[in-house]
A and B are shown apart, each in its own frame.
Chain A
Amino acid sequence: MKYTSLILAASLAWTASASETSSIDVTISNIKASSGQIKFALFRGQENYDNNSSPALALTFPVDGDSLHIPLTDLPAGEYAIRVMHDENNNGKLDTNLLGMPTEQYGFSNNAGQFGPASFADARFNPAELTEMQIRLR
């Protein structure tokens, strides 16, 4: 599945001149269930990431196959991190079991967070230094 960068660029909450921006192609892989939707959140800076309430960019995609291609363009300079989840039952949240362990798929930029939630330090990336990133849902 491929969405045009225009849609994403238009969704960004800030503007910047072309000379200060970067682009990165993000691929979400290992999507297992065919139901529900993929919720994608891009955060800019640690504070934005840690607050987790108002991402710089929040997008929702229907599931169409086991991967999803998201080209991000015109990103202003800075450090970013991504959270992705697969809301398989469309209830708007990441479901968990009685111990609080996720029962739906999720992932982070850099595939960070080996033991669960990733810190910004582990998930951060600078789009000026990368052209593509694969996030494997776990």
Chain B
Amino acid sequence: MSTQIDPRGQRFAASVTSVVLVAALATAPGALAVTLLSLQAALFATAVALGVQRTPVAAVYRSVVRPRLGPPSHTEDATPPRFAQGVGLVFALVGLVGFLTGVDALGYVATGFALVAALLNATIGLCLGCEVYLRIPTPLIAATTRSTT
């Protein structure tokens, strides 16, 4: 029914994301940081729009990394990581707005949140969709449920 993916590919993608975001923060504020953050936002957007298994990073994982690791012991549903990529996209876009409008503090904080999420995903496989949903106030959940169904 739903698309199944190799969970190690998600860890790999989160590692790449972490490296890009660290580079963006290290070079911020400036044109290079904005370029790196835009690149990462584009990767997040690709994962949300086409699926996490159809990003350039996923292609690199399939052609370079997985042949060295062997087949996965189990696969996972692609929906939760896709949701997490959407959260990452929001943070990256807010960060971009911050750096582009000169509100650097906003850029640092939003990019920092995206980095924390990516690092937790890469290290302990944190499932963002499991953490945030029940902490959202009920009326907001009702609103989003209505709009998506």
Q: Do A and B bind each other?
A: no
